[in-house]
A = this chain, B = another copy of it.
Amino acid sequence: MNKLSYGLLSLLSTEPMTGYDLTSKINKFWRSTHSAIYPLLSELEENKYVEFILKKQDGKPDKKIYNLTVQGKEFLRKWFISETSDAVVRDEMTLKLYCIQYMDTEAVEKLLNELETRYKKKIEVYKNSIEKIRLKFSENSRGVPPFGAYVLTQRILNEAILDLKWCDWIRDVYKNNYCNFLDQNFKDEGR
């Protein structure tokens, strides 16, 4: 089983959704595209872990609203308590920073500015996401509270805030002639 398939079941445990919805929701936590998701949904359906009801629309293609089956729920539970595999992280930024001392100051400045802009934007986006979850839940308290999405969004926000501080730290150490960088510890004062 593809890990992404479990992810789809996981999202469907909170509410019935279309492949389109799944694509946009899962992308906040797990990089993927609709081209990967639609075939997996078909496979899950063949294996009777999900089923869908067709909702006819005009103008747009008909919607397939997927839902977990009983087998899907059992399957989800088994996976949940099974061993969790390590995170796969591939961030081009890290590859670039590895050769930072090989590059001239101008190039380094450019990269650090790019990173800071990125993290600032991320912080804004995910702060808004949390606000949205808050609002949605206080508006209509029926339905299951999106606890999973909430804690995961909070994690991404935490990380982005920390990364921004880290950028600042790098700039400091770099400016202080990084040859004595070992004397300059990272200090996180919290928030």
Contact = CB atoms under 8 A, between A and B. Distances in A.
A interface secondary structure, majority: helix
Contacts of A182: 133-134, 137-138, 145, 150
Task: List the number of copies, as a whole number.
Answer: 2
Interface residues of A, number: 76
Given A147-B173, A154-B166, 11 more contacts: A10-B96, A14-B99, A30-B95, A84-B118, A87-B92, A88-B90, A88-B91, A97-B152, A101-B144, A145-B179, A189-B190
Interface of A: 3, 6-7, 9-11, 13-14, 29-31, 76-77, 79-81, 83-85, 87-103, 107, 110-111, 114-115, 118, 133-134, 137-138, 144-145, 147-152, 154-155, 158-159, 161-163, 166, 169-170, 173-174, 178-179, 181-182, 186-191
12 contacts: A10-B96, A10-B99, A13-B98, A79-B96, A80-B99, A80-B103, A84-B118, A89-B89, A94-B152, A145-B179, A158-B162, A158-B188
